[in-house]
Structure 1
Amino acid sequence: MLVVDDSKASRYGLRNWISKEEGTEIFEAANGLEGLERFKEHQPDVTFLDLTMPVMDGFEALEEIRKIDSLAVVVVLTADVQQKTTQRVQELGAFMVLKKPPIKDNIIDALYKGLTARGKGR
C-alpha cells in the first residue's frame, strides 16, 4: 500500500489502520512527486492519495500514476467534495473518492475493494 498525504498525522492514521490488516506493507510520501517516485519503486496494490499537497498535487500525481499503470487502484482522499472535484478525479481514473477526515471502516472497505479489483482479495 502507498499513502500519499502532506499531513504527517493523516499518514500516521492511515498507516495505523491499514497496518492492522494482515499482510500489508505500507509506504509513505509527503507530496505527489514523492508519491509518484514511491509508486514507481514499489508498484503498490492500492494507493491512498490526498489532492491538496505541495510540489505536485494529487490531480497531477493521479494522472502520472495512471500513465505508468492504467489499472492502478488509487483511492482519493479529499475535504473538497464539490461535484466538479469528484468528477475530475473520476475522469482521471480514481478507483474511489473518500471524504476527509476519513472513517476507518471506509478506509478498510476501500482497501479490500481495491485488493479485490487487483485480484488479491481475501
Structure 2
Amino acid sequence: MARKMLIKALPASWNVEITQASNGREAVAAYHAGKADVMFLDLTMPEMDGYAVLETLQHEGLDSFVIVVSADIQPLARERVRALGAAAFIKKPVDAVQIERVLREYGIEL
C-alpha cells in the first residue's frame, strides 16, 4: 500500500522505469542489477531494514541517490540516515509536492 501511494506521488513528467522491492535484500539486489539510480527507501522492512540497506551501500562503496521515506521522524533517525549516505528524508505519508521539491532540490531532471 505504501509503495503504491509513493508511486502515485511521483511526478507524472518524470520519465523513469520503476522497480519495486518488498524487502531490503531485494532493494540491494535491484541496485546490483542497475535498477536503483534513485532509491526511495523505507526504514521498516522485512529481512533487511533500511538502515542495513544504507550500511550495505556505504560498505560496498555503491553510489545511489537515496531518499528515505519513513514515519519515524525522530531527529536521531534523520541524523543516522544522513550519516549512512541518504541524500534526503521525507516524512510519511508522502505527497507529490514533497517528492518533487526534493528531486528538484537535488537536481534530478523531471
TM-score normalised by structure 2 residue count: 0.86
In structure 1, the residue matched to 2:99 is 107
Say yes or no: does 1:121 pair with 2:109. yes
Distance of aligned partners of 1:98 and 1:80 in 2 relative to their CA distance in 1, 3 Å threshold: same
Runs of 5+ consecutive residues of structure 2 not aligned to the other structure: none
TM value normalised by structure 1: 0.79
Taking only aligned residues, the RMSD between alpha carbons, in angstroms, comes to 1.9
Q: Specify the SS of the correspondent of 2:17.
A: coil
**Identical columns (%):** 34
Query: Counterpart in 2 of 1:60?
Result: 52
- Counterpart contact for 2:65–2:87, Cα < 8 Å: yes
Task: Give the one of 57, 75, 79 matched to 2:67.
Answer: 75
Long gaps (5+) in structure 1 = 1-8
SS in 2 for 1:42: coil
Count the aligned residue pairs: 110
Partner SS for 1:21: coil
Please identify which structure carries the higher helix content: 1
Matched, 1:31 2:31: no
